[in-house]
Amino acid sequence: MKNARGWGETFFVEYYRDYFKRQKVTPDKVSTVINGPVTVLMIASNAEKIDAKSLDSDFGWGKGQSLIDYALLVRDINIERLEE
């Protein structure tokens, strides 16, 4: 959680704005599990070490690529730079 200081709020705003748009839903129609925000921030804090396939196959977190993409964006991490 400490790793999310400075970017966590921006991440949530951008990620959920996109999520609501893609799902064609409004925030008043969505609920979250009690540990959901913590789980999302833990994934986002380690986005450069996780891939969407693993999120789906190992953890049942389908369509996790947007979560990873927004985490890398707000953390200003260029994934191509990491692959070199």
How much is the pLDDT for 80? 66
∠ Cα 24 53 56 (to 5°): 60
Tens-digit pLDDT string for the chain (84 aa)? 788 889 999 999 999 999 899 999 999 998 988 999 999 999 999 999 999 999 999 888 888 898 999 999 999 888 664 554
Domain boundary assignment for the chain: 2-83
Q: For 38, which DSSP code? A: H
Residue linked to tokens 């609920």: 31
